Chain A
Amino acid sequence: MPDHGTEVELIRVEGLNRVYAQGPIRVAALRDVSFSVPRRAFVAICGPSGSGKSTLLNILGCLDRPTGGRYLLEDVDVGAMNDDALASLRNIRIGFVFQSFHLLPRLTAQRNVEMPMIYCGLSRAERARRAAGALGAVGLLHRAAHRPSELSGGEQQRVAIARALVNDPALLLADEPTGNLDTRAGEEVMDLFAELNGRGVTVSVVTHNPRVAARARRILALEDGRLVADGPAA
């Protein structure tokens, strides 16, 4: 494991296992994965499909619990938390960006960005103020009143990034964020991640696209559920 010296640790994963039981068949999606990620890092998680990277992302994003090993987010053992505590953690500590954006089509960009704040009880005025700030940060304030269908793919993904950022998370998790975008829009999204990382946001991107992975400062490579490489991007 690379030495991160005195950097403050955000994520610590120790001997992580995730086994899916489908009737009598048991599929190990993650086998004994261990690593740690300091704050302000920009990590790419790479690997072919079926390598377990989505499973790892779900666990890091507190959507799923490991069946073995430990996952500590900001020194707290996530595996011991109940569903509501995990939901709160996702709400205020984690921002998700998905391949297919996952915006609600009937809501405007502004209202989509406001959505996470509904679940932490912020007032209407505060939600509107923060959503406008987040949309400004991704350069889309002028599109606030548009619905997703009126936005380009790149714009939709930037709205989704604004939604992920709006509760000021410790960790931004992206799952193939450029997978549904053309090259230029993809580059713009990655530029945005780099910029956010430069401003101090910890970013973790799951991808099988080497060009995307190359934008990260560190690459974790998975194969058959095992961590097979961990090093700085080429």
Chain B
Amino acid sequence: MFLFKKVLFFLLIFLGFLINCVPVDDKISKEDAQSQIYFAADFKAKKCGTSIPTPPLLVFTDQIQRNLDLCTIAITRSDCPFAEYPIICLGIYSPDAVPSIPWYISFKELSNRRIKF
């Protein structure tokens, strides 16, 4: 019985050390990412009195949250008319996180630089 308690204790300690090595996948599924982009575009289209630009911005892979958020925030904060997508949305096709935006680049201006897909 005493040995059993000690082994149990060891296992708990061992598990406690091992768990620090568990990697996490924080990516957003492509379905959820597509939904986030669609609702952002839908909001902007309604506000500008236009339809969602075609072809739509399609997501093919799971997304890094930062890249996805930069794209959808840029969509919602860009000026009307809404005929193309902000260029920062290219980030959703990058496997790496979009680097920090330098202080001398205005996010507002970045949002209004657009690209036709």
Partners in one complex: no
